[in-house]
Amino acid sequence: MSLLTVGSVAFDAIETPFGKTDKIIGGAGTYIALAAAFHAKNQKIVAVVGDDFPQEMLTLLEEKGVDLEGLQIKQGEKTFFWSGRYHNDMNSRDTLVTELNVLEHFDPIIPEKYQGVDYLMLGNLSPQVQRMVIERLTVRPKLIAMDTMNFWMDIALDELKNTLKLVDVLIINDEEARQLSHEYSLVKAAKVIREMGPKYLIIKKGEHGALLFHHENIFFAPALPLEEVFDPTGAGDTFAGGFMGYIAATDDASFENMKRAIITGSAMASFCVEKFGTERLTEITKEEIEQRVQQFVALANFNF
Amino acid sequence: MSLLTVGSVAFDAIETPFGKTDKIIGGAGTYIALAAAFHAKNQKIVAVVGDDFPQEMLTLLEEKGVDLEGLQIKQGEKTFFWSGRYHNDMNSRDTLVTELNVLEHFDPIIPEKYQGVDYLMLGNLSPQVQRMVIERLTVRPKLIAMDTMNFWMDIALDELKNTLKLVDVLIINDEEARQLSHEYSLVKAAKVIREMGPKYLIIKKGEHGALLFHHENIFFAPALPLEEVFDPTGAGDTFAGGFMGYIAATDDASFENMKRAIITGSAMASFCVEKFGTERLTEITKEEIEQRVQQFVALANFNF
């Protein structure tokens, strides 16, 4: 089934305790699209870049089956740029530079041929832009998932709440869940947030795994214990891409299948952190993904 | 099969954001014995109290099938007392008072009829006392598990390392694993610690679950997401008691059965935190435990 990915396609410059990069390709939309492409064979993207964005990555996305008609290339403008430095524990980071550039006035135009898309993944963007995408789709997708971040809770909470009413799955981290709900317990936070709209809530806990909440059901997916986290950038987006790519590929949005989708997303994210930026995602094979998923089975499996 | 539990039987006074207690019954040995008694039917204890310790708890332990011949009651002396205050996040606490009392010169005498015990659980105590117990057993138990804490790493690291050479399973939390190994990654920490002696390492991560390491195998057990943690005191000891109680009851120390033992320990710990001190542990039923274990199955189960 078809999947529409909406999100930033950008440049990042990253510093971790292991080294630093020059400007490399990043952005939520890039990570989502790359991770989803291993699963969903009919992916489309709505995003915007400047004329400084390298053709190589666009070619790579096309080779992976991503339709780029919805990717706007703004002549004479520059691509979104973010730069950050991770602390020694890799769990926190400082933003050094944010240049919105083309994202400042991003108008998410939906190509006519994208209408009728089956699944929609809204990467982290302003909640206004996310809502605009939903409203511009003439047929509601079977499942709409979105990511967001604390930044939008700080500066655009009302807009965010309006968008939340329209989505099925919200994917955020534990800190963001606590901020959005004003509850410390994640079980209580999930109740509050699900009353805001999303029937499904996924709370990412980084190295501590992820939780899926739906009605009274809770599923817990572990993270793979790793010797080294080289660069966490994009891990959350990669998780979301693996999750929605799997849902779209299997065309099954049941709770049981969402469990498999979360394990798939976790497996994709465990690759992402092994190298800087999108590097690892561009080189893994289907066989490696299958092996990694089986590592999760071995890690979490028990019989009672 | 028989289980020998060694650990403090004590008084605690606890403050949490939900309230505070007067002196109530606590101690690692108490929590371990209570949790294990639901599973292991032939449990013995080596511990020491003063003449101020209430008969009611001793009667309760006996009713639960715990043999108390190894529990020394020191006339004219006082029971170990600890008092602490939890911070708002319930993940950290300050020790307000520690009165060693009878524990200061604890000589762990093994009653003759305890010789030949099948399984040994060493609760958190000085590593010298823990080693003394192992050396005084004329037949090595099938499996020896021990708990310890950062305090002993700070003041008695060499003694601790000597004791670690003699045990099969070490049960510690993530901070302690990092301190003991000087490695931040828990995968690396586990390698370093298993080279110190224990073939099996269990790292408790509180609300984030627990990891079991053995050779190249890793098992991850989730913690049950809870609406409220009322009092975390004794949760780690309760986990250890449930774990070793299950191993002793099933007489099976295979990796597969250890997974079930860890889930059982996690289920017992999830009860412990629902009320102050040992209160919840003294009132739960076998049926409630079975239901709780099934909640873990639902929480962690997926099919790929």
Q: What is the pLDDT of residues B21-35, one digit of tens each?
A: 999 999 999 999 999
Residue (of B73, B80, B76, B71) closest to B13 by Cα position: B80
Where does the pLDDT of residue B90 fall: very low under 50, low under 70, confident under 90, or very high at 90 and above?
confident
User: By C-alpha distance, which of A290, A302, A189 is closest to A242?
Assistant: A290
pLDDT at B304 over 90: no
How far, CA to CA in Å, does B216 sit from each of B51, B184, B220? 48, 18, 13
Q: Please state, rounded to an integer, the average pLDDT across all residues of chain B.
A: 96
Residue A172 in contact with residue A203, Cβ under 8 Å? Answer: yes
Spatial contact of B153 and B179, defined as CB atoms under 8 Å apart: yes
Yes or no, beta carbons of A222 and B220 under 8 Å apart: yes
Residues in chain A with CB shorter than 8 Å from the CB of B221 are: 302
Alpha-carbon distance values, A85 to A26, A232, B114, B223 (Å): 15, 11, 58, 32
The total of structural domains in chain B comes to 1
Residue A89 reports pLDDT greater than 90: no
What CATH number does the domain containing B47 carry? 3.40.1190.20
Per-residue confidence band for A92, with pLDDT thresholds at 50, 70 and 90: confident
Question: What was the pLDDT predicted at A283?
Answer: 95
pLDDT tier at B91, thresholds 50, 70, 90: confident
The angle subtended at Cα A245 by Cα A241 and Cα A247, nearest 5°, is 125
For A51, the domain range is 2-300
**Can you point out the beta strands (E) in chain B?**
2-6, 10-16, 19-20, 24-26, 42-50, 66-67, 71-74, 81-86, 93-99, 119-122, 143-147, 169-173, 200-204, 210-214, 217-221
Task: Say yes or no for a CB contact (<8 Å) between A184 and B89.
Answer: yes
**Site from A91, A184, A208 to mutate, B interface, most B CB atoms within 10 angstroms:** A208
Q: Which residue in chain B is spatially nearest to A185 when comparing CA positions?
A: B227
Q: Minimal Cα distance from B256: which residue of A? A: A302
Burial class (CB in 10 A: 0-12, 13-18, 19+), A295: middle
Nearest Cα to Cα of residue A246 among A121, A150, A149, A137: A121
Beta bridge partners of residue B93, listed in sequence order: B86
Residue A124: burial class (beta carbons within 10 Å; 0-12, 13-18, 19+): buried
- Angle at which helix A235-250 crosses helix A28-37, to 10 degrees, equals 40
- What is the DSSP secondary structure assignment for residue B243, as one 8-state letter? H
Has residue B89 got a pLDDT over 80?
no
User: Nearest residue of A to residue B207 by CA position?
Assistant: A208
Write the pLDDT tens digit of every residue in B228-253.
Answer: 889 999 999 999 999 999 999 999 99
Of A85-89, A139-143, A197-201, B123-127, the poorest mean pLDDT is in: A85-89
Residue with tokens 């995003």: A47
Contact B68, B91 (CB under 8 A): no
Three-state DSSP class for residue A278:
coil
- Min CA distance, A4 vs chain B (Å)? 25
Question: What percentage of residues in chain B have a pLDDT greater than 90?
Answer: 95
B135 vs chain A: nearest CA distance in angstroms?
Answer: 35
Find, in chain B, the residue whose alpha carbon is nearest to that of A297: B304
Instruction: Say if residue B278's pLDDT is above 90.
Output: yes
Work out the minimum CA distance from A257 to partner chain B, whole angstroms: 9
Determine the pLDDT at residue A304: 86
CB pairs under 8 A between A and B: 86
Q: Which amino acid, residue A122? A: L
CB atoms within 10 A of CB B135: 10
